[in-house]
Chains A and B, each alone.
Chain A
């Protein structure tokens, strides 16, 4: 693990146990992210870039299993292997220290709750103390001013409930209180405070008219707006690391430009690191500082953006860059197909499509090596020199 990395993935292996066989989706992925940097992960459909993102939060869906590897996250100076932690620990971590933005904003939002409720949920989960503290402060102030004995009694009861909430939010007493009609009203103060906070967050996301959006349901929002709300949810607790899984793929170019601009500015403001998963090399060139290129479940090249676009080494990276249509050049493509990962090619998984394939490529899987400073390649062409 690098010294300045906040997250590093070592020899990650993920398999999916399907009826047709075992899909070797991820086979020995090594990655690291430095503090405050944007790492782009690029590759074709089915190369495992999204699964890598999901594995970091241990969210790989059901037939999939993380078989091997380490995911080390440095938190408060300590290094924690996320794969060894229990679900409770991860729940506290997700959305607070590491959060995620998914591709389809409509699918990521719950259609039956308003934006206020959904962002509020994140706040209640991770920033409860701060918000309940504010409510208690307000209550004490009100109590001092109030002379009416009935109201004073009500305020005192509310204060008691909030203090209980501060201590233990899962207490049965509170649960019961929230079921009784008149006593239930104590929650209003909490939601009022949350609403203020949500509007503040939405304003940071440059959403026009946040007072209206707060009360809107997801179907009332346009695609770009919905994605901003999802990003707002992810950034509500100032996470150290944001994993963005193709957040702009379903958006139009003009809206995409707005969202990218927003992400860039938020990164500068909060200093979070970002893992940006995408298949669009144009977006990578605009946004990222380092790039990792994935092919069929493993990383084939990692380098600085300038270095990668100027001096791509791996044949797949070269092919990918040449496949970008350019008006003055004839169309070029990588021949062949992405292999079926149930039965992947032996050795280097790219060898059936590689124009420089040698005998050794068919037998031995190349290890990822540092060729230049910060330029890693997994290819036999660049051997022990």
Chain B
């Protein structure tokens, strides 16, 4: 499987300024060393509670935010990725120079100016709430046509035609061209936002909770739309959501995030059938099932998510974890593959390697 995006130790800190000189007094560690690889033409789900850094991660990957540290490889050939990986572990001066050179070419975390602008064409985002992400004073044709204008992708005469073509693709018609966003229902507004995202022919689209602001009856329709577009346009999705039932249906692989870190990554079915990390287990057992005959055992978490300004030492989940051991307080667990063959199932928990060894 080809990898489209790989992030290595990606970090994004927001500074907290204080004092007379507005100095940096602390950091909100929204994303703290995330390693993820997203394959071509897959829908990669990212789930977690609010404030765990999933939206920040989505925005950083497409460089709407500048990462504090780390590497984002977009569409890099396999051998280059392997080489960068190798070079990262060495501290030789000569090697460092070589790494710098490679990063300048392939690591989009270092991109600037014109190069970054050209990149934007291939990466787009759909936001959570279409009533705030669409400009209320612009007509639909201007909203959807704006990326073309900014990127210089179409001549003036062609814009209308292209906009119409894209609108039809998402199920709207030419009578919607000259209307304002407030004239549409929530589902239709989200379609406009999707049209705006796909008009530049991107290969990667971040969907940031795209269905959380619409009703149940419309949600299914939007999800169908996403799947159809993915097939037709060969898109790769990063699907960010806190609604686990939606992710279960649409994603191919899912990563679970907790307080700026990835705790578990696996193929969707595998993850939902046997979650390994205690946090994933608790998260899944909290989903209400729309069937009164199923009464499942709850694994209720105590307390609330700690502050990302001052995260707990060692494993970040240990203050709430029912299985916490001494080692959890001191050492941070690494993501480890617990499947011997087939699709990898990565877990970051101290309990796992030992259990398999025994």
Contact = CB atoms under 8 A, between A and B. Distances in A.
Nearest to B287: A253
Using C-beta atoms within 8 Å of the partner chain, give the interface range for chain B: 35 or more
Contact of A257 (B215, B218, B246, B300): B300
Interface string B264-292: 00001100100000000011011111111
A324 B216 contact: yes
Contacts of B248: 325, 327
A281 B282 CA distance: 20
B290 A321 contact: yes
Interface stretch (A187-195, A331-339, A363-371): A331-339
A310 B293 CA distance: 9
B49 A319 contact: no
Interface residues of A, number: 42
Given A253-B242, A323-B216, A327-B269, A333 B221 contact: yes
A260 interface: yes
B217 interface: yes
Contacts of A284: 290
A280 B288 contact: yes
Contacts of A208: 303
Interface in A241-276: 252-258, 260-261
B292 A285 contact: yes
Interface in B224-280: 224, 227, 242, 244-246, 248-250, 268-269, 272
Nearest to B226: A331
B217 A44 contact: yes
A285 B289 contact: yes
Most buried by B among A208, A252, A305, A309: A252
Contact of A285 (B50, B218, B288, B298): B288
A225 to B, nearest CB: 7
A120 interface: no
Contacts of A310: 293
B321 interface: no
A295 to B, nearest CB: 10
Given A252-B49, A253-B286, A257-B298, A323 B269 contact: no
A279 interface: yes
A178 interface: no
A77 B292 CA distance: 33
Contact of A279 (B215, B272, B304): B215
B286 A323 contact: no
Contacts of B221: 331, 333
A306 interface: yes
A327 B249 contact: yes
B65 interface: no
Contact of A331 (B49, B249, B300): B249
Nearest to B301: A254
B288 A286 contact: yes
A260 B246 CA distance: 21
Interface in A18-67: 44-45
A337 B282 CA distance: 36
A346 interface: no
A305 B292 contact: yes
Contacts of A306: 292-293
A329 to B, nearest CB: 9
B321 to A, nearest CB: 13
A315 interface: no
B138 interface: no
A261 B244 CA distance: 20
Contacts of A334: 217
B283 A254 contact: yes
Nearest to A289: B292
B297 to A, nearest CB: 12
Contacts of A44: 215-217
Given A321-B290, A325-B219, A331-B220, A254 B49 contact: yes
B214 to A, nearest CB: 9
Contacts of B282: 254
Interface in A311-326: 319-321, 323-326
Given A252-B242, A332-B220, 9 more contacts: A44-B215, A44-B217, A257-B298, A261-B300, A283-B288, A305-B292, A309-B290, A325-B220, A333-B224
Interface of A: 44-45, 208, 222, 224-225, 252-258, 260-261, 279-286, 305-306, 309-310, 319-321, 323-327, 330-334, 337-338
Interface of B: 49-50, 185-187, 215-221, 223-224, 227, 242, 244-246, 248-250, 268-269, 272, 282-283, 285-293, 298, 300-301, 303-304
11 contacts: A225-B304, A260-B288, A261-B298, A284-B290, A285-B289, A309-B290, A310-B293, A324-B216, A325-B223, A331-B249, A338-B215
The 3 closest A-B pairs by CB, nearest first: A282-B288, A257-B286, A333-B220
